[in-house]
Amino acid sequence: MSTDEQPSRTIDGTGVTPLAGVGTAVWYDLSVDVDLDEPPESDAVDPEAERDRFDDARERARDELDREREQTAERVGEEEAAVFDAHRQFLDDPQITDGVADALDDGLPAEHAVHRAFEGPIEQFAAMDGMMAERADDLRDVRDRLLRLLTDVDRVDLGALPEGSVVLAERLTPSDTAQLDPDRVAGFATAEGGRTSHAAIFARSLGIPAVVGVGEDLLTIDADADVLVDGIEGSVIVDPTSEQRERASAGRDVEIRTEPVATADGRSIEVAANVGTLAELEGAVRQGADGIGLFRTEFLFLDREAPPDEDEQVETYVEALDAFPDGRVVVRTLDVGGDKPVPYLDLPEEENPFLGERGIRRSLGPDSGLFETQLRALLRAAAAGDGTLSVMFPMVATVTELEAALETVDSVADALDDAGIDRAMPELGVMIETPSAALLAEALAERVDFLSIGTNDLTQYVMAAARENDRVAHLHDPTEPAVLRAIDRTVSAGHASDAWVGMCGEMAGDPELTELLVGLGLDELSMSAVTIPAVKETVTGIETADAESLADRATDATAKSAVRDHIDNREP
Amino acid sequence: MERVVTVVPEDGLHARPAAKFVETANGYDADVQVGPADGDLVDAASMLAVTSLGVASGDDVRIVAEGDDAEAALDALEGVLSTPEAESET
């Protein structure tokens, strides 16, 4: 590394994976270098040759789609791969191919013909709502694929990038993202896109550092520049300093500890994984998780036509419990509503879905049948699986809701006993993610075994700043003093009632914040599996007294900048 | 020949179910059209046309097939429309 360093430049975006990586910028350009609005004179075009070019491009597009479908199914998942089936059908759609044929008959070059044939359908779908508008994106992807193949844009082969590449692009399609090899690509950043875009979802599945929604400033980065993609902070740093580089690589190449860890002075901290699919279980075990701190059960319910039955659920929960025979698995009951549509549930269209009928609100209301089935399955799994089962209720805002949920658990237990079915009582807990729950933490903790702080939603609700809104992204920061104070009082309230207190938001997986969280008194930290080794390593170096003093200073602070200063200047 | 079928996949005829429907229609030697039970029909071999029908779960659709494989095509398409679709793949 050179010693004479250039000043670094930081551009903010939205981090989508809790990972950072440094590498050399590679521009991935989808734009087509011809003016498609101004076709050349038709007598300059040979229609037969253009038809052959189109047929050839379509054939290559089919091959690409088949290959990418297979690759995506293998590396990301079958559900995600299904998007390519739709793309293939659009590619062969008679309306499109007829449109292209007509345009070719009119003497247009193939790329202009493709552009014209897609224009109408794209506009038509884009003008519609919801799922239909998504079809417009699919059509654009198919069109751009054909245009790229026709214009022979010298496209970077994403599957064969040199090791240590950072991919920069205006946007990445699902197929682009699926081709990225986590072992070779140090990260990617896109000008467009949000946390829920396909690219973001794929990046998390693949474990690639990624920042999206960077905006126009991204375009000012030169190819071959040194770039650090910081998915934790949500920033792209050009010409990072050696200090910034070291910090970015801290999370990587850390020794994996399969044993539980404690601070230097012996305070045990449980380090667990957040898991959203069964496929992630293995990764969690591999990264040395002590257990699962957040088992999201939505995957069982989404992308299917009918809810999973009780036996299927028992099987899934037991599988998770058996993966951690000596650990704990915290299962969150179904948390739908908000941004998560479920086809067979009659989810209302709401003005403010995040402030609407979601989580426990649905479980105690329209989805009470599903809730009971899920609880039956959980109580059966508690008796059948190896590990310790804990069950957690999401989106609780009142003590009444918690009491209703606990009563449901009791009645389900009685019904199982009456039927002579084996069951055990799991630990029960509340997810603290609404300001109301944080303010009522004492009363909630008295009634349960544990509290788990979901910092992503808690931050969004405490700061009144939507997670997906780039314009208020600066407010969406768990080190804001108000959020820290909510965490602080939750932990104190939990401990006063002998409830253990965990954290299962992205904050828990940031090694920079581990000391602060230990100082705040958290017993358990749960995170994406990839950050477990770094957090475990950090824990072992912490002196509890130092951590508590840091936490005191941080919770006394009244500005995020002061909190950050305390964190940056903490005792080594 | 024709048939009226109630759509079971909860996504209706969108992305994945639609792709499967169109793929199936293309697999038979028959001209197939599809549309709402009481409305205009579109080409079942066109993903664009089928998707833009906006058919939701529980809707009745009319499938009309002409050609050598008409009956087999109707059987297969009825199968697609009346099977909850997700479990087949994952």
pLDDT digits (tens, 9 = 90+) for B39-71: 899 999 999 999 888 888 888 999 999 998 999
CA atoms within 13 A on the CB side of A217: 13
The ipTM assigned to this model is: 0.82
Considering only residues A141 and A2, tell me which one the structure prediction assigns the higher pLDDT: A141
What number is the average pLDDT over the span A382-396? 97
Identify the band that residue B90 occupies on the pLDDT scale cut at 50, 70 and 90.
very low
For A495-542, the pLDDT digits (tens) are 999 999 999 988 998 888 999 999 999 999 999 887 898 899 999 999
Q: Which residue of chain B has the CA closest to A303? A: B86
Considering only residues A342 and A225, tell me which one the structure prediction assigns the higher pLDDT: A225
- Rounded distance, CA A476 to CA A572, Å? 28
The yes-or-no answer on residue B74 being catalytic is no
pLDDT of residue A339: 57
For tokens 């905006």, what's the residue?
A215
Torsion of CA A214, A216, A222, A223, to 10 degrees: 70
What number is the average pLDDT over the span A41-48? 78
Interface test with B, best of A88, A305, A344 (most B CBs within 10 A): A305
- Rounded distance, CA A275 to CA A294, Å? 6
What number is the average pLDDT over the span A289-304? 89
Q: What's the burial of A487, exposed, middle or buried (CB within 10 Å: 0-12/13-18/19+)?
A: buried
CB-nearest to B52 from A89, A124, A304 is A124
On average, the pLDDT of chain A sits at 89
DSSP A42: G
CA atoms within 13 A on the CB side of A311: 0
- Percent of chain A's residues with pLDDT above 70: 93
pLDDT of residue A404: 98
Query: What beta strand segments (E) does A254-371 contain?
Result: 261-262, 268-275, 292-296, 328-332
Query: In chain A, what residues touch B53 (CB-CB under 8 Å)?
Result: none
Considering only residues A204 and A66, tell me which one the structure prediction assigns the higher pLDDT: A66
On average, the pLDDT of chain B sits at 86
- Rounded distance, CA A182 to CA A450, Å? 36
For B8-42, the pLDDT digits (tens) are 887 788 777 888 899 999 999 999 999 998 889 99
Beta-carbon contacts below 8 Å between A and B: 79
Considering only residues A549 and A42, tell me which one the structure prediction assigns the higher pLDDT: A549
CB-nearest to A305 from B14, B47, B86 is B86
pLDDT of residue A286: 80
The catalytic position among B14, B64, B67, B83 is: B14
Identify the band that residue A178 occupies on the pLDDT scale cut at 50, 70 and 90.
confident
3-state secondary structure A27-38: EECCCCCCCCCC
**Cβ distance A106 to A160 under 8 Å?**
no
Q: Which residue of chain A has the CA closest to B12? A: A343
Residues of B at the A interface (Cβ-Cβ below 8 Å)? 8-11, 14-16, 18-20, 22-23, 26, 43, 45-49, 51-52, 54, 57, 84-87, 89-90
B10, A92: Cβ pair inside 8 Å? Answer: no
Considering only residues A5 and A566, tell me which one the structure prediction assigns the higher pLDDT: A566
pLDDT of residue A572: 45
pLDDT of residue A17: 80
A304, B48: Cβ pair inside 8 Å? Answer: no
**Cβ distance A420 to A414 under 8 Å?**
no
Q: What's the burial of A336, exposed, middle or buried (CB within 10 Å: 0-12/13-18/19+)?
A: buried
Q: Is the pLDDT of residue B87 over 50?
A: no
pTM of the entire predicted model:
0.59
pLDDT of residue A362: 94
Considering only residues A442 and A195, tell me which one the structure prediction assigns the higher pLDDT: A442
For A88-147, the pLDDT digits (tens) are 999 999 989 999 999 999 899 999 999 999 999 999 888 877 667 778 888 988 998 899
Angle (nearest 5°) at CA A534 between A163 and A389: 120
Q: Which of A152-156, A476-480, A497-501, B64-68 has the highest mean pLDDT?
A: A497-501
- Rounded distance, CA A197 to CA A199, Å? 5
What number is the average pLDDT over the span A205-233? 90
**Cβ distance A454 to A431 under 8 Å?**
yes
B23, A343: Cβ pair inside 8 Å? Answer: no
- Rounded distance, CA A329 to CA A427, Å? 10
Q: Is the pLDDT of residue A220 over 60?
A: yes
Identify the band that residue A571 occupies on the pLDDT scale cut at 50, 70 and 90.
low
Q: Report the catalytic residues of A.
A: 198, 504
